[in-house]
Amino acid sequence: MNIRACSLALAVACAVTLPALANDAASQPEKVSSGVKLSTLCDHCSVVDSVTTVTRKGKASGVGAVGGAVLGGVVGHQLGGGTGKTVLTAGGAVAGGLAGNEIEKNMKKYTVWVTHVTLKNGTHRTFEERAAPAFRKGDVVKVDGNRIVKS
């Protein structure tokens, strides 16, 4: 095949392919989230997809671990005899400390509200708050750093 034939074949391929590609791009459905067209949003806006609550464990201060260790050590000391008593006392203290720490975390648990949003470009972000947010699914909100506010 000579250069002129190759050029002609390339021109025909482009003439057929480029309009088809343009039609494919035009026929792409518009992105919608919770009934809102993303193209209508401002650059810093997003659509609320969901608001859910999640229970989180609290932070332990060490009081539960110390109390559990003492109680576990006392119970372990009551069991066994000789060197077994020493092993059970130490083991009871360790197990009691771990259990006491978990009990303290569970006693200090709290609820957070997790808000999932879709941004104008189609990406998703999640925001977490300790208080119930003032918006619900389908609301348009603005992203302000690491928080969201009503738009």
Res 17: pLDDT: 56
Q: Helix, strand or coil for residue 10?
A: helix
Nearest to 51, CA basis, from 111, 123, 93: 111
Q: Supply the mean pLDDT for the chain.
A: 77
What mean pLDDT is predicted for residues 4-27?
54
**Encoded tokens for 139:** 């609301």
Res 56: pLDDT: 85
- In sequence order, what are the residues at sequence separation of 6 or more whose Cβ sits closer than 8 angstroms to the Cβ of residue 132? 113
Whether 143 has a pLDDT exceeding 60, the answer reads yes
* pTM given for the model: 0.58
Computed from CA positions of residues 86, 87, 91, 94, in that sequence, does the dihedral angle turn out positive or negative?
positive
- Residue 108 phi, psi dihedral angles, 5° rounding: -100, 20
How far apart, in whole angstroms, are the C-alpha atoms of residue 79 and residue 94? 15
